[in-house]
Amino acid sequence: RAARCRVVLARPRAPVPGSKWQELRELSERAPERFWDSVAKERLLWNKPFEQVADCDMRQGKIRWFLGGQLNVSANCLDVHVARAPERVALLWERDEPGSEVKVTYRELLETTCRLANTLKRHGVRKGDRVAIYMPVSPIAVAAMLACARIGAVHTVVFAGFSAEALAGRIEDAQCKAVITCNQGVRGGRTINLKTTVDTAVKSCPSVRNVFVAHRTECKVPMGPLDIFLEEEMAKESTSCPPEPMESEDMLFMLYTSGSTGKPKGIVHTQAGYLLYAALTHQYVFDYHPGDVFGCVADIGWVTGHSYVVYGPLCNGATTVLFESTPVYPNPGRYWETVQRLGINQFYGAPTAIRLLLKYDENWVKKYDRSSLKTLGSVGEPINREAWEWFYHVVGDGKCPLVDTWWQTETGGVCIAPQPAEDGAEILPAMAMRPFFGIQPTLMDEKGKEIRGNDVSGALCISQTWPGMARTIYGDHQRFVDAYFKPYPGHYFTGDGAYRSKEGYYQITGRMDDVINISGHRLGTAEIEDALDEHPDVPETAVVGIPHDVKGEVPFAFVVLKEVGSSSQSQVIEELKSLVAAKIAKYAVPDHFLVVKRLPKTRSGKIMRRILRKVAMGQSSDLGDISTLDDPSVVTEVIQACDHYRSLESKKN
Ligand code: WT7
């Protein structure tokens, strides 16, 4: 899959005077600590300067930056800019209904944040308390995140597509004291009853003392004893709230994400290092310049929304777009109509949306004026060549650098990406390319030895710490150490594989563990299996990811059923679908269910997912080594069942 064609981009404009890309690169390589020391002093507003740049030991998973320093993240994102340019637009809320965008200035956002912070305080939320935010992207949701940061509470935003049970699991794990939500969400012309989901979730969460309910629609929802009308309470509060001075390493937020085993993990990010890394990458990876309108269409329920809708852009004083809608509402021109209407300069989206849009007529793009665009970005999953070319040539008219950005919830910000901020930077299609300042990627072989040289592939590790990296898994530091630092002692293991080209550029080849990526949403196959296994008629299941032309990957479930008549098989499958939707989310429901008698296992009883994946992908002639199987005849059974399933499927279509 290595890209061979070389596209050297003509720069859209003259080099920025005084831009120090080359100097920064040089310093970050020669003296990383001095580099971070100087950017941290230059870019952040400190209440108290830090005394020590870093104290890290990756063997123990000990990551600490800017020790002794105190600052407040919301003051860095708001007060700093209000002091200089209070009427600059901070948020451009692109609501679901096209043409009804709302502008929020830095002064207004600070006032809303303070009112919300005072409301939380009045209801007993204190420094260090955890607060769940279950809301789609909106100014009030951004204010909720910043209000937590202002008073030192720890937010955990839960994507509003997650089920009540998934929400409850996160609230429970984090022991949240409060939940902030809205009556309803609006997306693609439909309303989603968020408050109802929260009601169900908090029934099993005794830690929750209050549910704050904002109003996105006119719809009245029943209010219970814990519930508080958010806007009403905010109206009573003052528009100023002193920012709480926080230690650099106090928690800022956590975000749950899937691993290959067990429950989702609460990835913890702290104050100074995270903010600095989000802001620095926002500027240099996207070649952001003051005055630009930055359009990241991600939801705040994912880390992309945290770093590139909220914290990075706001720390840099940018105008950031909050995109509430979908790429196809009311038609497939939505993104580009929005680009034209809001004058977006950097557009950052997911390959899955691009793959969907390229199926439609190009006129949906061409009819809108996209001349404001300067940089395009892609994130969340590998971008295939076709999607890259379409995005670059059709959307960008071949004029805008397209940055394929690789990173993770755990990395806090972009780690590997092309660097358009550098003069004459080269960008190759569908390639994440080069490490960001201070990032040291290494490739490891199966024995745990570093693979040197170029034109090689291996397990992608990062061998030097950086301020944006996660600090721990909430409540389980040992799991943090085991998951990320045990596989290759002294290095951070990403879970991804990568190829380093002849030129020394990186290309991500995909996960090496049992994590799949559905439309850019990361999910452990074990989580889906756990949900399926709850069904009383299902003794055993195995879920694998198979390629899908729009979603990237989709789950394929192999299920073993207890003795049930074939008439009820389809009923059980329907029940299994509902189980996954209820336990996790709708997007996690497998696209395929195949009932089998047995699953292929090794002699030690481990399910051979590698083989199942091949079978599910229709590559059963190329199964590789099956000699370790306990009973190879199981494979023949599974292949037959799958062939039968495929023939039924093709008849259906
Ligand atoms: C996983 C992280 C990064 C924010 C959104 C996802 C995959 C991410 C790329 C890319 C190929 C990518 C990796 C990674 N991934 N970006 N540009 N090319 N794969 O964050 O949910 O923590 O998922 O997404 O497999 O490990 P996340």
What is the rounded distance in angstroms from the CA atom of residue 78 to the CA atom of residue 84? 10
The alpha carbon of residue 552 and the mean position of all alpha carbons in its chain are separated, in whole angstroms, by 15
Q: What is the per-residue pLDDT for 3? A: 37
Could you tell me which residue, 124 or 432, shows the higher pLDDT?
124
Question: Beta partners for 256?
Answer: 266
Burial zone of 291 (CB within 10 Å; 0-12 exposed, 13-18 middle, 19+ buried):
exposed
What is the rounded distance in angstroms from the CA atom of residue 505 to the CA atom of residue 441? 11
198 closest CA partner among 221, 218, 220, 219: 221
Among protein residues, the one whose CA lies closest to atom 14 of ligand 1: 408
For residue 162 the two structure tokens come to 């997650």
Q: Where are the alpha helices (DSSP H) in 159-218?
A: 164-174, 194-203
Among protein residues, the one whose CA lies closest to atom 2 of ligand 1: 408
User: What is the number of the ligand 1 atom nearest to the C-alpha of 383?
Assistant: 18
Pocket test for ligand 1, best of 269, 307, 408, 553 (most atoms within 8 A of CB): 408
Q: Is 307 in the pocket of ligand 1 (CB under 6 A)?
A: no
pLDDT digit string, tens, across residues 481-536: 999 999 999 999 999 999 999 999 999 999 999 999 999 999 999 999 999 999 99
CA distances from 105 to 85, 88, 310, 345 (A): 9, 5, 14, 18
Q: Is 139 in the pocket of ligand 1 (CB under 6 A)?
A: no
Q: What is the per-residue pLDDT for 5? A: 37
What is the rounded distance in angstroms from the CA atom of residue 316 to the CA atom of residue 274? 14
Helix axes 32-43 and 21-30, enclosed angle (nearest 10):
130
Q: Is 495 in the pocket of ligand 1 (CB under 6 A)?
A: yes
Among protein residues, the one whose CA lies closest to atom 11 of ligand 1: 382
User: What is the number of the ligand 1 atom nearest to the C-alpha of 508?
Assistant: 11
Q: Is 519 in the pocket of ligand 1 (CB under 6 A)?
A: no
DSSP for 134-164, written as a single string? E--SSHHHHHHHHHHHHHT-EEEE--TTB-H
pLDDT digit string, tens, across residues 364-390: 999 999 999 999 999 999 999 999 999
User: What is the number of the ligand 1 atom nearest to the C-alpha of 407?
Assistant: 3
For residue 376, the SS3 value is: strand
Q: Is 522 in the pocket of ligand 1 (CB under 6 A)?
A: yes
- pLDDT band, residue 10 (cuts 50/70/90): very low
Q: What is the per-residue pLDDT for 14? A: 37
Q: What is the per-residue pLDDT for 564? A: 67
Pocket test for ligand 1, best of 300, 303, 381 (most atoms within 8 A of CB): 381
Burial zone of 627 (CB within 10 Å; 0-12 exposed, 13-18 middle, 19+ buried):
exposed
Q: Which residues contact 383 (CB under 8 A, 6 or more apart)?
A: 351, 354, 391, 404, 430
The alpha carbon of residue 30 and the mean position of all alpha carbons in its chain are separated, in whole angstroms, by 31
Q: Is 382 in the pocket of ligand 1 (CB under 6 A)?
A: yes
Q: Is 590 in the pocket of ligand 1 (CB under 6 A)?
A: no
Q: Is 406 in the pocket of ligand 1 (CB under 6 A)?
A: yes
For residue 638, the SS3 value is: helix
Q: Taking residues 243-266, report their average pLDDT.
A: 95
- pLDDT band, residue 20 (cuts 50/70/90): confident
DSSP for 568-602, written as a single string? HHHHHHHHHHHHHHHHTBGGGS-SEEEEES---BB
8 Å CB contact between 135 and 182: yes
Would the pLDDT of 175 be above 60? yes
pLDDT digit string, tens, across residues 132-166: 999 999 999 999 999 999 999 999 999 999 999 99
The alpha carbon of residue 327 and the mean position of all alpha carbons in its chain are separated, in whole angstroms, by 18
The neighbour count for residue 4, using CB atoms within 10 Å, is: 7
User: What is the number of the ligand 1 atom nearest to the C-alpha of 522?
Assistant: 21
Pocket test for ligand 1, best of 267, 354, 379, 460 (most atoms within 8 A of CB): 379
8 Å CB contact between 86 and 105: yes
Q: Is 306 in the pocket of ligand 1 (CB under 6 A)?
A: no
Q: Determine the distance separating the centroid of ligand 1 and the alpha carbon of 408, expressed in angstroms.
A: 5
Q: Is 460 in the pocket of ligand 1 (CB under 6 A)?
A: no
Q: Determine the distance separating the centroid of ligand 1 and the alpha carbon of 463, expressed in angstroms.
A: 18
Q: Determine the distance separating the centroid of ligand 1 and the alpha carbon of 55, expressed in angstroms.
A: 27
- Measured at the CA of 352, the angle between CA 651 and CA 436, to 5 degrees, comes to 150
DSSP for 27-49, written as a single string? HHHH-HHHHHHHHHHHHS--SB-
137 closest CA partner among 255, 300, 253, 297: 300
Half-sphere exposure of 18 (CA within 13 A, CB side): 1
Q: What is the per-residue pLDDT for 271? A: 98
Share of the chain above pLDDT 70, in %: 96
Q: Which residues contact 566 (CB under 8 A, 6 or more apart)?
A: none
8 Å CB contact between 181 and 211: yes
For residue 310 the two structure tokens come to 């909220």
Q: Determine the distance separating the centroid of ligand 1 and the alpha carbon of 405, expressed in angstroms.
A: 8
Q: Is 381 in the pocket of ligand 1 (CB under 6 A)?
A: yes
Q: Is 405 in the pocket of ligand 1 (CB under 6 A)?
A: yes
- pLDDT band, residue 626 (cuts 50/70/90): confident
Q: Taking residues 428-455, report their average pLDDT.
A: 95
Would the pLDDT of 551 be above 50? yes
Among protein residues, the one whose CA lies closest to atom 13 of ligand 1: 381
Q: What are phi and psi of 623, to 5 degrees?
A: -85, -10
500 closest CA partner among 460, 538, 464: 460
Among protein residues, the one whose CA lies closest to atom 5 of ligand 1: 380
Question: Beta partners for 228?
Answer: 212
- Looking at residue 587, the DSSP 8-state letter turns out to be G
The neighbour count for residue 445, using CB atoms within 10 Å, is: 12
Q: What is the per-residue pLDDT for 285? A: 96
User: What is the number of the ligand 1 atom nearest to the C-alpha of 432?
Assistant: 17
Q: With the CA atoms of 491, 494, 495 and 498 taken in that order, what torsion angle do they form, in degrees rounded to the nearest 10?
A: -100
pLDDT digit string, tens, across residues 474-489: 999 999 999 999 999 9
Q: Is 466 in the pocket of ligand 1 (CB under 6 A)?
A: no
- Measured at the CA of 205, the angle between CA 236 and CA 165, to 5 degrees, comes to 110
Q: What is the per-residue pLDDT for 566? A: 64
One-letter identity of residue 62: K
Share of the chain above pLDDT 90, in %: 89
Q: Is 553 in the pocket of ligand 1 (CB under 6 A)?
A: no
Q: Is 379 in the pocket of ligand 1 (CB under 6 A)?
A: yes
For residue 133 the two structure tokens come to 């935010």
**Residues counted in the chain:** 653
The neighbour count for residue 482, using CB atoms within 10 Å, is: 13
311 closest CA partner among 123, 168, 460, 157: 157
Q: Determine the distance separating the centroid of ligand 1 and the alpha carbon of 272, expressed in angstroms.
A: 23
DSSP for 89-106, written as a single string? EEEEEE-SSTT--EEEEH
User: What is the number of the ligand 1 atom nearest to the C-alpha of 410?
Assistant: 22
Q: Is 348 in the pocket of ligand 1 (CB under 6 A)?
A: no
8 Å CB contact between 269 and 470: yes
Among protein residues, the one whose CA lies closest to atom 12 of ligand 1: 381
Q: Is 506 in the pocket of ligand 1 (CB under 6 A)?
A: no
For residue 259 the two structure tokens come to 């691993």
Q: Determine the distance separating the centroid of ligand 1 and the alpha carbon of 511, expressed in angstroms.
A: 9
For residue 450 the two structure tokens come to 């570093």
Q: Determine the distance separating the centroid of ligand 1 and the alpha carbon of 389, expressed in angstroms.
A: 20
The neighbour count for residue 292, using CB atoms within 10 Å, is: 22
Q: Is 264 in the pocket of ligand 1 (CB under 6 A)?
A: no
What is the rounded distance in angstroms from the CA atom of residue 422 to the CA atom of residue 200? 51
Q: Determine the distance separating the centroid of ligand 1 and the alpha carbon of 475, expressed in angstroms.
A: 24
pLDDT digit string, tens, across residues 46-72: 999 999 999 999 999 999 999 999 999
Pocket test for ligand 1, best of 388, 508, 513 (most atoms within 8 A of CB): 508
Q: What is the mean pLDDT of the chain?
A: 94
What is the rounded distance in angstroms from the CA atom of residue 93 to the CA atom of residue 104? 8
What is the rounded distance in angstroms from the CA atom of residue 602 to the CA atom of residue 626? 9
